[in-house]
Amino acid sequence: MKHFFKSIQRFLMDRPLRQGVLIKNRYEIDRVLGMGSYGITYLAKDQKLGTQVVVKQLRNTKQKLDQGMRAFQYEKKILARINHPQVPQLLDVEESSAGFFIIMDYINGKTFEDLIFEHHYKYKEEDVVQILLQVIEVIESLHNEGIVHRDLRIPNILKVDDVIYIIDFGLARFIGDDEQVEGLVTEQQYMRRTTVQSDVYALGHFALFLLYSSYEPNSRKEKSWEKELLLSPELTAIIRKMLQSDGYYEDMMHLKGDLQFIADKKTKALNF
């Protein structure tokens, strides 16, 4: 019963803002884009410039928790440090009795979650290698700035035409920061550590999501991804290393080198 009342309280306190609400007398809420455990994200209009922006609100219930406020401050600081054309730019911040909001660029594209599940895109091995190389270019620059994303999943990587963008830095941290990972299952521990390996590990799972988009089961018996996907030995070895099944990658540079080797090998075969 206590849990039930807490759920009702969270529902009442964390209801999304209505259309037309103004943030800082400037940003007019249009609609909800997404709802996460810590925040609610909206599409809004900057009335001063006439442009579309993203407004991310820290849930009211999370404002009362040290962990929630810490996550908000981290995201604000990290976005302020990043200056990359394929990452949303921090535009404004509101911290007042009205709430805690981060305002950033709106990237009007399709996430890989949209592309796979709504638009039914199917990705082959050579497609995935090229996509990974593009993602790594962005992530490597973040690592050079001392930042790990820690949430590189298909909803947080999107495309605009042929350009890759990385969004949602709610779980991002500075490399080496103290972060509690005890008590999490193994996969969560790998993804939540504040090391470059957390992003490499996440990209391994991202790659498998893309590859499974073109998988057609021919048996009811569940098998390992290695036996189901039937990838080239080179890519299989790379993904196993990304997932830390056979060693691990120390940095993105070595991962990029191995993927580029596969891409170059494919190019030479086509030109032969």
Task: Write down all domains in the chain, each with its CATH number in brackets.
Answer: 10-105 (3.30.200.20), 110-271 (1.10.510.10)
pLDDT in the model for residue 221: 83
> Whole-structure pTM over 0.85, yes or no?
yes
Phi and psi torsions of 267, nearest 5°: -60, -45
| Over residues 93-109, mean pLDDT | 95
Is position 56 annotated in a ligand binding site? yes
| Over residues 29-50, mean pLDDT | 95
Q: Is 151 a catalytic residue?
A: yes
d(CA 77, CA 147): 11
d(CA 203, CA 198): 9
Is the per-residue pLDDT at 212 higher than 70?
yes
Is the per-residue pLDDT at 114 higher than 70?
yes
d(CA 213, CA 95): 42
Contacts of 250 (CB under 8 A, 6+ apart): 196, 197
Task: Determine the residue type at 108.
Answer: N
pLDDT in the model for residue 218: 79
Candidates 163, 152, 129; CA nearest to 205 is: 152
> Which region among 40-49, 116-125, 132-141, 180-189 has the lowest average model confidence (pLDDT)?
180-189
Given the residues 66, 105, 114, 151, select the one marked as catalytic: 151
Per-residue confidence band for 217, with pLDDT thresholds at 50, 70 and 90: confident
**Tokens at 213, concatenated:** 């988009």
| Over residues 234-249, mean pLDDT | 96
Is the per-residue pLDDT at 7 higher than 90?
no
| Over residues 225-248, mean pLDDT | 95
Instruction: Give the count of beta carbons closer than 10 Å to the beta carbon of residue 5.
Output: 9
